[in-house]
Amino acid sequence: MPDETPETSTPPSKPAQVGPSIDVEVRRARASDLFAFPRFSKEYPLNFPETPEAEIGSFRSVMMGVLPFSRDDHPTFIARTASDHRVLGAAHFRAVGPDQRWMATCIRTNPGVYDDEPIVIGMLHHAIQDAGFNGVKRLYAKAEMDSPVRGPLRTMGFTPYMTETIMAAPHVPVLSSGGSVRTLDQTDVWAIHQLYIHSTPRDVQYAEAFTSHNWDVGTVHRDRGHECRAWCIIRDFEAVAYARAISHRDAHVVDLMVAREWRSLLPDLLAEVFRQLSSMSSRRVYVSVRGYQREMIPLLEHYGFAAQVQQELSVRYTTASMRSSVISVESYAHEPAKEPATRRVPSFFRRQPPEEAEERRRRSARPSEPTHVSGHPE
């Protein structure tokens, strides 16, 4: 078990008081918290449905945030009273992707008679500080449109960049096979990234900051520890449709991406995806439909899906981009260059006249002209 020494990377933060007579302090989870963990009265999932319910259990989440081999991948923060150290809340994150961005997975509170919003704000405040001290540039969270956590997320600087609708079905639909769909190969990753660039709004691309590694099935499997499969449709040597399914113990989570001019291929893509998933044990199916993909909803409803939740995706940057004046450098020659005279023999065979040698000597001893710099403020 890890030691009980305080964290050295981030100083404990103490936000404003919760209610009139209670002080709250927030810190990283420790081993001693496993023995004093309460039954939380409120729970707010922040990465549904990608993080399954089995992984956000309160005891399991804190244990993953405490163990030495997993604490860096599962940052967990505890809010407690400063007087009697009673646990008031817990915030759970997970580091994913090549850049190790933090995904908020769940926030739990046990405020008693007090308002839980200051507790949530305090935990988010400390998590952002800790992420910045550890070199993390972005934190992400998904909150339901009516979730009480949306207010604290906005307060702490989380910026919404997209909405999505989660379509759910109790089991995998049985459809005929899509003939033109094939399993994604490692060599297709770059083509899928180009499809993402051409089919995704620019603001969403800036917020997500995905690289081609995001479409690598092996990378997803290593990051999340779940089985992952992907399919694509190629037309004229370009990827025009893509689907990925991450299989948990109790559900499949499917993401789709289709070029606008090839939307007619969506039924074939879904048919092959569901045919492949139907060979596994029966479980619930979720399909994430982004705000700019709403034309997929009628087809999914025809296949037996229903909208379960609509949520807002937000990003929080721990680093601020710096803007400086645009500097242009202009160099001016001391005198215009002259066209050298044409000679039949190399210059080292020709003896220079005394006056020309003296001029060359004086020119080399003369200080160079200063470089002129002009600034153009934005």
Closest CA to 330 of 377, 378, 363, 370: 370
State how far the Cα of 91 lies from the Cα of 339, in Å rounded to an integer: 74
Q: Name the token pair of 32.
A: 């001693």
Residues 148, 47: contact at Cβ < 8 Å?
Answer: no
Following CA atoms 313, 141, 204, 246 in sequence, which dihedral angle do they give, to the nearest 10 degrees?
A: -90
Residues 98, 213: contact at Cβ < 8 Å?
Answer: yes
Q: What is the model's pLDDT at position 146?
A: 94
| Beta-strand runs (E) in the chain | 24-28, 42-45, 76-81, 87-96, 101-109, 138-144, 159-169, 182-183, 227-235, 238-247, 251-258, 284-290, 306-317, 326-330, 372-376
pLDDT tens digits in sequence order for the chain, 378 residues long: 444 444 444 545 545 444 444 688 999 988 888 777 777 888 999 999 988 776 666 677 778 778 887 888 889 999 988 888 888 999 999 998 888 899 999 999 988 877 888 899 999 999 999 999 999 999 999 999 999 999 999 999 999 999 999 999 999 998 877 678 999 988 899 999 999 999 999 999 999 999 988 888 877 766 666 788 999 999 988 999 999 999 988 899 999 999 999 999 999 999 999 999 998 988 999 999 999 999 999 999 999 999 999 999 999 999 755 555 555 555 545 555 555 555 555 554 455 566 665 655 554 444 433 333 333 334
State how far the Cα of 169 lies from the Cα of 188, in Å rounded to an integer: 29
Q: What is the model's pLDDT at position 64?
A: 79
Q: What is the model's pLDDT at position 75?
A: 92
Q: Which position has the token pair 């066209």?
A: 339
Q: What is the model's pLDDT at position 365?
A: 41
Q: What is the model's pLDDT at position 17?
A: 44
- At residue 138, what is the residue type? R
State how far the Cα of 9 lies from the Cα of 72, in Å rounded to an integer: 12
Three-state secondary structure of 347-372: HHHCCCCHHHHHHHHHHHHCCCCCCE
Residues 316, 154: contact at Cβ < 8 Å?
Answer: no
Q: What is the pTM of this model?
A: 0.77
Beta pairing class for 326-330 and 284-290: unpaired
